């Protein structure tokens, strides 16, 4: 870094919300939520249905008022409990799943809807955006002549036409079928990046968040419980529910003695956990290793994989890029799941030995 760049002032986040709170019927539906998003960055607000994602988005859009907290755009206050810039002056673009196009307006008229200024300028912006979403040929067409994916791209062009500083997107792709969705998502993402827009995208689908986000804010019960790059949120989850939100999980319950949790898979480190504490050892099916039975025995213990435990196959299914195998474990009759790349479909009743990758396990208080 040069001395010159050191002296550059750090730009204020394009969007910042501080300590937003909203109650409905005495319940905090959004409970002290803070976020910062830079220009050109996509943050996904990810969480189960009803956790307060849409209410957060609506407060930023200005169609819902917070009980407390502030919203800033480029460092300027646009809303607290006293001062409020009206929604239409916030320079925020909106895209919702059911944000339908106007059926009686042509594609060009739809895209131009939020634009002011001379006709030629508006037309030039409409042509530019339709070119970028590869829909120039439909410029004089009407929404009913377009497929779902094409309509969604027009909606995106319409939302971006006035060059909003921020885009708020609420489950924008959930109306599209799977085949279309990936393509529309990728195209949307590259267009948003080109426009240098700060994006807050609400979704309940982890795959969508992993695919789209620079940063994921995991929300539950009105609070952001974890925030970070997708890789970090996935590999360093804060609790058991955060693991389970992204994938199937296996759980072993144990009690800590001497900073160790004993299990049929050997011991797990539980540093700093007091003796007598019940813990859950949580791991994903892809971190279970399978081995064949060798005359009643399994593989020898290793420091990285611990001790092998015996299980019997109850079900095996091929999922496309991997196979999911379920086992009933000898030690307590519990069911554990393992995934194996490609095709692996052992018959029901087959005995196998399971080990668990130590460096992929999470130990949480139960």
Ligand X SMILES: Nc1ncnc2c1ncn2[C@@H]1O[C@H](COP(=O)(O)OP(=O)(O)OP(=O)(O)O)[C@@H](O)[C@H]1O
Residues that bind ligand X (CB under 6 A): 24-25, 29, 47, 49-55, 204
Rounded to a whole number of angstroms, the minimum distance from the CB of residue 242 to ligand X is: 16
Q: Kindly report the number of other CB atoms within 10 A of residue 10's CB atom.
A: 6
Instruction: CB nearer to ligand X: give 63 or 259.
Output: 63
Phi/psi for 283 (5° steps) reads: -150, 155
Would you call 60 exposed, middle or buried from its count of C-beta atoms within 10 A (0-12, 13-18, 19+)?
buried
Q: How far is the CB of 202 from ligand X (least distance, A)?
A: 6
Closest-CB residue for ligand X? 54
Q: Toward ligand X, which CB reaches closer, 56 or 106?
A: 56
By beta-carbon proximity to ligand X, the closer residue of 54 and 152 is 54
Shortest Cβ distance from residue 47 to ligand X (Å)?
6
Residue 346 CB, nearest distance to ligand X (Å)? 39
Tell the smallest beta-carbon distance from residue 68 to ligand X (Å). 17
Q: In the bound complex, what is the minimum distance in angstroms from residue 225's beta carbon to ligand X?
A: 13
Of the two residues 173 and 268, which places its CB atom closer to ligand X in the complex?
173
Q: Which is nearer to ligand X, 63 or 366 (CB)?
A: 63
**CB of 74 or CB of 205, closer to ligand X:** 205
Least separation, in Å, of the C-beta of 206 and ligand X? Answer: 13
SS3 88: helix
Least distance in angstroms from the C-beta of 29 to ligand X? 4
Smaller CB distance to ligand X: residue 47 or 311?
47
Q: How far apart are CA 181 and CA 208, in angstroms?
A: 10
Nearer to ligand X, 47 or 266 (CB): 47
């Amino acid at each position: 870094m040069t001395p010159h760049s050191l002296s550059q002032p750090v730009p204020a986040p394009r969007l910042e919300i501080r300590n937003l709170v909203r109650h409905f019927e005495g319940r905090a539906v959004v409970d002290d939520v803070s976020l910062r998003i830079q220009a050109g960055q996509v943050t996904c607000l990810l969480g189960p249905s009803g956790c307060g994602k849409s209410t957060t988005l609506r407060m930023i859009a200005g169609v819902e008022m917070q009980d407390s907290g502030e919203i800033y755009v480029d460092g300027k206050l646009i809303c607290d409990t006293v001062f409020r810039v009206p929604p239409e002056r916030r320079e925020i673009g909106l895209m919702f799943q059911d944000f339908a196009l106007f059926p009686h307006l042509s594609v060009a008229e739809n895209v131009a809807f939020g634009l002011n200024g001379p006709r030629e300028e508006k037309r030039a912006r409409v042509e530019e955006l339709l070119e970028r979403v590869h829909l120039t040929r439909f410029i004089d067409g009407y929404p009913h002549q377009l497929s779902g994916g094409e309509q969604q791209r027009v909606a995106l062009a319409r939302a971006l036409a006035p060059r909003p500083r921020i885009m708020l997107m609420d489950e924008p792709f959930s109306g599209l079928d799977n085949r279309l969705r990936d393509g529309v998502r990728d195209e949307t993402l590259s267009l948003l990046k080109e426009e240098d827009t700060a994006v807050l995208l609400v979704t309940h689908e982890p795959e969508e968040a992993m695919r789209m986000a620079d940063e994921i804010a995991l929300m539950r019960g009105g609070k952001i419980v974890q925030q970070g790059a997708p890789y970090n949120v996935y590999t360093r989850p804060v609790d058991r529910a955060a693991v389970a939100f992204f994938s199937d999980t296996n759980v072993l319950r144990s009690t800590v003695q001497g900073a160790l949790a004993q299990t049929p898979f050997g011991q797990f480190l539980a540093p700093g956990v007091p003796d007598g504490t019940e813990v859950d050892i949580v791991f994903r099916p892809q971190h279970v290793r399978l081995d064949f039975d060798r005359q009643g025995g399994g593989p020898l213990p290793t420091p990285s994989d611990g001790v092998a435990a015996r299980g019997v196959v109850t079900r095996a299914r091929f999922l496309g890029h991997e196979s999911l195998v379920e086992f009933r474990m000898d030690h307590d009759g519990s069911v554990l799941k393992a995934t194996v790349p490609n095709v692996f479909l052992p018959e029901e009743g087959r005995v196998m030995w399971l080990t668990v990758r130590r460096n992929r396990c999470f130990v949480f208080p139960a």
